[in-house]
Amino acid sequence: MGNEKTDLRGMKVLIVDDTAVNIDVLRQTLAPEGYEISVATSGEQALKIAPRFVPDLILLDIMMPGIDGFETCRQLKCNDSTKEIPVIFISAKNETDDIVKGFSLGGVDYIVKPIKQAEVLARVETHLQLQYLKKEQEKSKLEVIKKNHQLQESMEKLKSTQEQMIQSEKWASLGCLTSGICHEVLNPINIISCHTQALAMERENDSELIKDLDSIQEEIQKIERIIEKLEHFVNQEGLVLTKNDINSQLTTILDDLDKEGRFKRISVIREFNLDLPKIGFDRKLLRQVFQNIFHNAICAMNQEGTLTIKTEESSKEININSKSPSSNIREENFVRITVSDTGHGIEKGQLSKIFNPFFTTKPPGQGIGLGLSVCYSIIQKHGGIIKAESDGSAGAKFVLYLPMISIAPVG
Ligand SMILES: Nc1ncnc2c1ncn2[C@@H]1O[C@H](COP(=O)(O)OP(=O)(O)OP(=O)(O)O)[C@@H](O)[C@H]1O
Ligand SMILES: [Mg+2]
């Protein structure tokens, strides 16, 4: 800093005195320095003005009618908005008692009347300078805190991008491996299938053999279904977004399942909001999502119960990343689709795992645990959210949010 003089013009001084002559002298002394000045003629008035004017310094007369300078100072120091403002006492008295009392109440200095202009100027300037430096220090402290916060946020972002990159690399290599295995397994499966069909035609009168060959064909189909799911899982193409009506997409899927006889003893309730606008989504991929969710619900209800599908508009704020809530709130409008069933529900401990790849509670051969993880990544690619709710017994509820604004395809 060297000897550079700080520009204190514009700093605010509150003069508190009941005598007009004193006020004039102080004002005439200080105004030419460029300070902004406000005046209170009593302690009560000072207590009202100070929180609004927020001075950098208060010159406070001790002897005043009403509450005196000491009491005024005490009250200023009790108020959060004024307690940091330095107070210089002004009094005709110069007894040590008063000086000590003034300091003990939080005063920073003392000026004795009659007022000597040079002394007032020097003291005021010194304390304004201190106050200025204090404020600058606080500002830079805040700046450091802000910078630290920004740094922390950037670190978090970097970490999560890194994690995502590692994760996507992992998936990419897992994808290659899985595709390779699927391809290698499909070849011998096709050959076995051809041979069993040929054998069945050759020996069509051997009913025992035909029964065995049918069982082999059934198992082959199971393997093919698993391979198909694995391929879906690893070969998720980019999105083909078109503007669609979510209600008619759901209607088609539900009608198809009905035609296949999947809802025999299940009543399906459609609570569609027919005023929903068309939104951008990939018809093929969203079909996969709802087929998985409906299939799971049908299994959980063991073919009997109620399946409710509700569509509505939702504009509430949504926190899309629990790790760093502040930076991940979205306020845009969504279409919300809720699928509730009356099946066996999902245990609390399992709710957080059901979207993990290969998590299943189904017996071998009935599920490999890929359905919901596929749903999750498809919905995420759409910029949407999928959540599951269940209290562990009275059914499960899947809530999906799809953004109404058209989004650029991801990945
Ligand atoms: N509606 C539901 N009610 C109760 N449990 C459910 C429901 N939907 C999913 N789950 C639970 O979540 C698990 C994972 O579901 P997910 O669809 O990912 O795999 P899966 O159905 O077991 O196998 P896959 O879909 O690959 O054939 C299920 O095994 C089941 O325990
Ligand atoms: Mg499933």
Q: What is the pLDDT of residues 237-286, one digit of tens each?
A: 678 889 999 999 999 999 999 999 999 999 999 999 999 999 999 999 99
Give me the pLDDT at residue 2, please: 46
From ligand 2's centre to the CA of 397, what distance in Å? 14
What does DSSP assign to residue 328? Answer: G
Amino acid at 99: I
Q: How far apart are CA 178 and CA 285, in angstroms?
A: 20
Q: Give the number of whichever ligand sits closest to the CA of residue 301.
A: 1
Q: Which atom of ligand 1 is nearest to the CA of 345?
A: 4
Query: What CATH number has the domain spanning 12-115?
Result: 3.40.50.2300
pLDDT for 225: 84
**367 close to ligand 1 (CB < 6 Angstrom):** yes
> Which spans in 93-116 are helix H?
96-104
Atom of ligand 1 nearest to the CA of 369: 19
- Percent composition of the chain: helix, strand, coil (DSSP 3-state, to 5): 50, 20, 30
Q: How far does the centroid of ligand 1 lie from the alpha carbon of residue 373, in Å?
A: 10
What is the reported pLDDT for 240? 86
- The C-alpha atoms of residue 88 and residue 102 are separated, in whole angstroms, by 9
Q: Phi, psi (5° rounding) for residue 37?
A: -120, 140
Measured in Å, residue 246 CA sits from the centre of ligand 1 at: 23
DSSP 3-state of 214: helix
Ligand 1: residue whose CA is nearest its atom 31? 361
Using a 6 Å cutoff on CB, does residue 396 contact ligand 1?
A: yes
Q: What pLDDT, on a 0 to 100 scale, did the predictor assign at position 47? A: 97
Domains 12-115 and 237-403 agree in fold: no
Per-domain boundaries in the chain: 12-115, 155-232, 237-403
The rounded Å distance from CA 74 to ligand 2 centre is 71
Which ligand has the minimum distance to the alpha carbon of residue 352? 1
What residue type is assigned to position 395 of the chain?
G
Contact call for residues 307 and 299 (beta carbons, < 8 A): no
Place 296 in a pLDDT band, splitting at 50, 70 and 90: very high
Residues with a beta carbon under 5 angstroms from ion ligand 2: 296, 371
C-alpha 296 – ligand 1 centre gap (Å): 5
pLDDT at 401 over 60: yes
Amino acid 29 reads T
Residues in Cβ contact with 409 at an 8 Å cutoff, skipping those fewer than 6 apart: 238, 239, 240, 241, 381
Mean pLDDT of the chain: 88
The CATH classification of domain 237-403, taken from the options 3.20.20.450, 2.70.70.10, 2.60.40.10, 3.30.565.10? 3.30.565.10
Bridge partners (DSSP) of residue 109 are 88
* Cα 211 to Cα 204, 221, 227, distances in angstroms: 10, 15, 25
DSSP 127-195: HHHHHHHHHHHHHHHHHHHHHHHHHHHHHHHHHHHHHHHHHHHHHHHHHHHHHHHHHHHHHHHHHHHHH
Q: What's the pLDDT at 316?
A: 60
Other beta carbons within 10 Å of 271: 11
